[in-house]
């Protein structure tokens, strides 16, 4: 069996000079070809590219960020893979290039650059030869494949995502139809008015939930999800109102969203949320729970007599029966609105 070949680096420096192994481009055990760059080192602020002296399987000896002297052996190139056995036929070379190697040879800098540009390195390797990838390869791939750069989320959007993806929450959704009120107000005004009245009888579904417990709200702070240029906004209406009052405050929210005049409304933590997709022809949907608010009610497109609603609640604080009873109460109080 052939012996491992020593990979030594001679940077011809002073006798006391030390190099730092910056990073290995290939993982241990990866198959490398002769002449390929397998690592980068730095000595006296100069970057050195370390090439494989022959084809084989890489067995690093020096860890990344460790130092070594000129002429030191930093790795071996093995003629056989780490898990190889002496099963080759007589006369057949044990050194065979793997038919598929899922590892992508690229430095941390190239990996970060590709990630920032939203480029899949596995896809990129189909366009290049079997060699370590460079920043220029990423740019060339984007140009030829017509890939648009990733658009990072704004700070506002990142905050919204954190609220929508609480790993501790247990969101559960119930769907049903509620009867329309006899008033002439819009469905959203009717529902906001009805929710205002129904929550007075159901404090258990009105407040905030986290992994420590449930905090009931002492007054209504109704959040209304609004689509704006900045993204999804949830301005808050504090306190209870009658029909004309809800009609007025919702007109103010609409004006704020249209003109971006968010100084006209309150932006604080809601105790209950309403999301309305009815104007876009949606009937039922699954509203995303916006933790720590314990529940959110989705409003769909009405028919002649009813409005479809979808209630998502945090099952840590609210049971399914409690949520169902709340919806029944909402259906009931809607009939008292005029």
Confidence at residue 82, expressed as pLDDT on a 0 to 100 scale: 55
Q: What's the topology of domain 1-103?
A: OB fold (Dihydrolipoamide Acetyltransferase, E2P) (2.40.50)
Which residues of the chain form CATH 3.30.559.10?
159-334
Winning range, highest mean pLDDT, from 3-7, 154-158, 216-220: 216-220
Q: Is the pLDDT of residue 273 over 80?
A: yes
At 232, list the tokens.
């999804």
Task: Give the H or E element holding residue 316.
Answer: none
Mean predicted lDDT score pLDDT of the chain:
84
Question: What is the C-alpha to C-alpha distance for residues 261 and 228, in angstroms, rounded to an integer?
Answer: 11
Q: Other CB atoms closer than 10 Å to residue 314's CB: what's the count? A: 24
- Convert the pLDDT of each residue in 205-261 to its tens digit: 999 999 899 999 999 999 999 887 767 888 899 999 999 999 999 998 888 888 877
Confidence at residue 75, expressed as pLDDT on a 0 to 100 scale: 92
Residue 207's closest CA among 298, 289, 320, 292?
Answer: 292
Q: Is the pLDDT of residue 199 over 70?
A: yes
274 band by pLDDT with thresholds 50, 70 and 90: very high
- Convert the pLDDT of each residue in 22-39 to its tens digit: 888 888 888 888 888 888
- Convert the pLDDT of each residue in 106-148 to its tens digit: 777 787 788 888 888 777 777 776 667 878 888 888 877 666 6
CA triplet 187, 192, 194: central angle to 5 degrees?
90
DSSP calls for 250-266: HHHHHHHHHHT-GGGSB
Confidence at residue 98, expressed as pLDDT on a 0 to 100 scale: 47
Identify the CATH assignment for 104-152 out of 2.40.10, 2.60.40, 1.10.20, 4.10.320: 4.10.320
Q: Is the pLDDT of residue 93 over 60?
A: no
Confidence at residue 190, expressed as pLDDT on a 0 to 100 scale: 94
Residue 330's closest CA among 172, 164, 206, 169?
Answer: 206
**Comparison of pLDDT for 230 and 164, the residue scoring more:** 164
Least confident of 17-21, 58-62, 94-98, 192-196: 94-98
Which residues of the chain form CATH 2.40.50.100?
1-103
Confidence at residue 88, expressed as pLDDT on a 0 to 100 scale: 40
The structure's pTM equals 0.59
Identify the CATH assignment for 159-334 out of 3.50.50.60, 3.30.559.10, 1.10.1330.10, 3.30.70.120: 3.30.559.10
Confidence at residue 109, expressed as pLDDT on a 0 to 100 scale: 75
- Convert the pLDDT of each residue in 278-317 to its tens digit: 999 999 999 999 999 999 999 999 999 999 999 999 999 9
* Beta strand spans in 102-170 (E): none
Which residues of the chain form CATH 4.10.320?
104-152
**Omega of the bond prior to 292 within 30 degrees of 0, cis?**
yes
């Amino acid at each position: 069996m052939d012996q491992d070949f020593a990979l030594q680096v001679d940077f011809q420096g002073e006798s006391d000079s030390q190099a730092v192994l910056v990073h290995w481009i290939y993982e241990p055990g990866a198959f490398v070809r002769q002449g390929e760059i397998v690592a980068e080192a730095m000595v006296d602020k100069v970057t050195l590219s370390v090439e494989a002296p022959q084809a084989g399987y890489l067995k690093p000896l020096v860890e990344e960020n460790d130092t070594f002297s000129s002429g030191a052996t930093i790795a071996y190139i093995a003629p056989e893979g780490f898990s190889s056995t002496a099963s080759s036929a007589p006369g057949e070379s044990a050194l065979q290039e793997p038919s598929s190697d899922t590892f992508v040879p690229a430095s941390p800098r190239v990996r970060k650059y590709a990630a920032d540009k939203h480029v899949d390195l596995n896809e990129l390797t189909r366009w290049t030869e079997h060699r370590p990838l460079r920043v220029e390869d990423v740019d060339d791939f984007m140009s030829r494949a017509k890939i648009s750069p990733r658009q990072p989320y704004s700070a506002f959007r990142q905050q919204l995502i954190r609220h929508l993806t609480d790993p501790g929450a247990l969101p559960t959704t119930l769907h049903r139809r509620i009867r329309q009120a006899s008033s002439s107000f819009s469905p959203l005004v009717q529902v906001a008015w009805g929710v205002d009245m129904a929550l007075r009888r159901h404090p258990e579904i009105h407040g905030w939930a986290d992994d420590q417990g449930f905090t009931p709200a002492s007054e209504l702070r109704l959040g209304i999800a609004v689509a704006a240029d900045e993204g999804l906004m949830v301005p808050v209406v504090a306190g209870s109102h009658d029909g004309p009052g809800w009609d007025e405050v919702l007109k103010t929210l609409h004006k704020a969203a249209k003109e971006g005049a968010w100084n006209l409304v309150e932006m604080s933590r809601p105790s209950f949320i309403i999301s309305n997709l009815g104007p876009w022809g949606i009937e039922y949907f699954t509203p995303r729970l916006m933790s720590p608010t314990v529940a959110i009610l989705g409003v769909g497109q009405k028919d002649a007599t009813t409005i479809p609603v979808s209630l998502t609640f945090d099952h840590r604080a609210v049971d399914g029966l409690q949520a169902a009873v709340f919806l029944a109460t909402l259906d009931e109080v809607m009939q008292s609105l005029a």
